[in-house]
Amino acid sequence: MAGVFSRLNMFKLGCRCVKLSRKTLTRAAAPAQTMRRYSSYRGLFGLLFDIDGVLVRGRTPIPAAKQCFRNLVDGNGNFKVPVVFVTNAGNSMRQTKAEQLSHLLEVEDGLLMSTGVTGAGDAVSQSPAGFHSVSRHVRPGVRTGTRCGSRTQFVLDYINSSVGFKNVVTIDMLREAYPLLDTVDHNRRPKEMNPPSKDLPPIEAVVLFGEPIRWETNLQLITDVLLSNGRPGNPVTSLHYPHIPLLACNMDLLWMAEAKNPRFGHGMFLVCLENIYKKITGCELKYEALIGKPSVVTYNYAELLIRQQAENLGWTQPVERLYAIGDNPMSDIYGANLYNRYLKAINHTRAQAQAHAGDIPYDVFDDAKRSGEVSVGGSFEHRLPEGCSSILVCTGVYNPDQQDLPSDPEQTVTEQQIFHGHRDFHFDPSLTQPSFLVQDVREGVERVFQLEGWPLE
C-alpha cells in the first residue's frame, strides 16, 4: 500500500477555497505560452468537460451548454475535436450517463457514447471503466474475494460487468445478513428479539464509489468491517491495523445541483468516516488508492480516450494540448493544473533522455517514470500532450461574487486558510489558479477555438 503513495510524491497535492477575482485572473492566468494565437495553423487539441456545474445543475441543463455543443458538432453530426466528459460522479454506468447527458444537451445519443463519459472509478480500468489497475495494489487473492461497496445495484452491475471481482457484498446485503448492526433508525430495527443472521465470507476490501443515501448506516457498517478485519459479525477483541484495503472514488467535498448553494459530496462522507475511525482507534484511516479528480490517474485515462478519438477522427498527428473546463477550483482546476505539471515533468524528462542519450540523473528519470506507472492509459513511450490548460466557469461551485481574491495572489486572508481538499493531499496555492476564468462553458470553448485557430460555427 505504501508503494501507491510513494510513487506519487512528486504530485503531492491539496486544495483550498480560493477567491479569484476576474481582473486578477485576466491579468495573471494568461501566460504567454497559453495565449498563443494560431492564424494559418490549426492546433490539435482535446476538450475535457466536467458535468455538474458546467453543463448541468442536477437535471437542469445550463443554457450556454446547449449552444456550445451545437457549435461543437460538424455537419456530419460528429464532434469537430476530441471530447471527453470527466466527472467524479459514480452513481451510474457510463452508457446511462451518456444517454442522460445526450437528452439534456439535445445531441445524438451515439455521439456522446462514441466520445467518453468517465466517472471517478472509470480511470481505474479511474470519479467507473474499472478497478483493474488498482487491484494490483491490493494483496494477492483479493480479486476473487468478497468486496463491500457503498452503492447497491450500481455497484453490483458495474463490478460484475466491468471489473471482474467476485462475491460482491453491498451495504444493504451486509445489513440483511447482520440485522443487529444497523440500529440508528428505530423503524428499521428488526422486530424479533434475536433475529437470525447468516455468515458471509470474510470481506477483503472496501470500495467506496460515491456518497451513500443513508450515511448513518454506511458509516456504522463500514466501520464495523474495518474494525473487525472484514468479519463484522464477530466481536472486536483487538485492533487490526493496518485495516483491510480501502479504495475511494470521488474526493469532492461539495458539488453543485439545482440548489443555490453547493451540496455535500463524497469527500464530505470521507471526512466523516476518517474522523470516526480515528476517534475510535486513535489511528489514521488509510486508503489503498484515491481515485477521481484531482488525481493525475484520472487525467491520464481521459487522455487515453482523447487519443483514441483523435484517431477515430482521422488525425494523423498526436494531440498537442488539452483544455479542462470545470467549476470547482478544488478538484477541476487543481487536477488540470496538476496534470499539466505532470505532463511538463514527463516531457522534460524525455527531452533530457534524448539530449543525453539516456545518460541523465536517475532520480529525474525515475520520478517521471514511476508517475507513469500509476497512470491508467498512460505510457512512458507514447507521445503525451505538451500541456493541459485549466478553465474555470462561474456557473457552479465557484462564485465570483463570493470568492474574490486580493490583487496579490500570494496575500492570505483568514478565509483562504480553509482547506477543502482531501486529507491526504497537500496544499499548493499555485495549482488552484485557472489558466482562464470565463462566465460559462460556451465562452470557454469559444476562447479555446480562438486560441487554436479553429472556426467554431
pLDDT digits (tens, 9 = 90+) for 59-75: 889 999 988 988 888 88
For every residue of 354-401, DSSP letters joined together read HHTTT-S-HHHHHHHHHHHHTSTT--SSSPPPSEEEEEE-SSSS--TT
pLDDT band at 270 (very low <50, low <70, confident <90, very high): very high
In this structure, are residues 398 and 20 in contact, taking their beta carbons and an 8 Å threshold?
yes
Distance CA 110, CA 309 (A): 14
Whether residue 405 lies inside any domain: the answer is: no
Q: Are residues 391 and 248 in the same domain?
A: no
Q: Are residues 205 and 75 in the same domain?
A: no
Distance CA 87, CA 379 (A): 23
Q: What is the pTM of this model?
A: 0.75
| Residue 30 reports pLDDT greater than 60 | no
User: Is pLDDT larger for residue 244 or for residue 155?
Assistant: 244
| pLDDT tens profile 104-122 | 777 765 555 555 555 544 5
| Beta-carbon contacts of residue 210 (< 8 Å; ≥ 6 apart) | 89, 90, 91, 120, 127, 150, 151, 249, 250, 266
pLDDT band at 354 (very low <50, low <70, confident <90, very high): confident
Long-range pairs, 268-275, Cβ under 8 A, ≥24: 268/211, 269/208, 269/211, 269/212, 269/215, 269/218, 269/219, 270/208, 270/422, 270/423, 271/423, 272/215, 272/219, 273/219, 273/222, 273/223, 274/423
Q: Are residues 154 and 283 in the same domain?
A: yes
Expressed as residue numbers, the domain containing 191 is 127-139+149-290
Whether residue 262 lies inside any domain: the answer is: yes
- Quote the pLDDT of residue 372: 37
| pLDDT tens profile 363-399 | 433 433 333 333 333 444 578 999 999 999 999 999 8
User: Is pLDDT larger for residue 2 or for residue 47?
Assistant: 47
Q: Are residues 104 and 184 in the same domain?
A: no
Report the CATH number that the domain containing residue 229 is assigned in CATH: 3.40.50.1000
Q: Are residues 210 and 281 in the same domain?
A: yes
- Quote the pLDDT of residue 141: 32
Q: How many CB atoms lie within 10 A of CB 369?
A: 15
- Which cell goes with 102? 445526450
| pLDDT tens profile 426-442 | 778 888 899 999 999 99
| Residue 129 reports pLDDT greater than 70 | no
User: Is pLDDT larger for residue 380 or for residue 237?
Assistant: 237
Q: Which of 83, 93, 169 is nearest to 130 (CA)?
A: 93
Looking at residue 316, its amino acid is: T
Number of structural domains the chain divides into = 2
Q: How many CB atoms lie within 10 A of CB 104?
A: 17
Q: Are residues 235 and 325 in the same domain?
A: no
Q: Are residues 55 and 74 in the same domain?
A: yes
User: Is pLDDT larger for residue 219 or for residue 213?
Assistant: 219
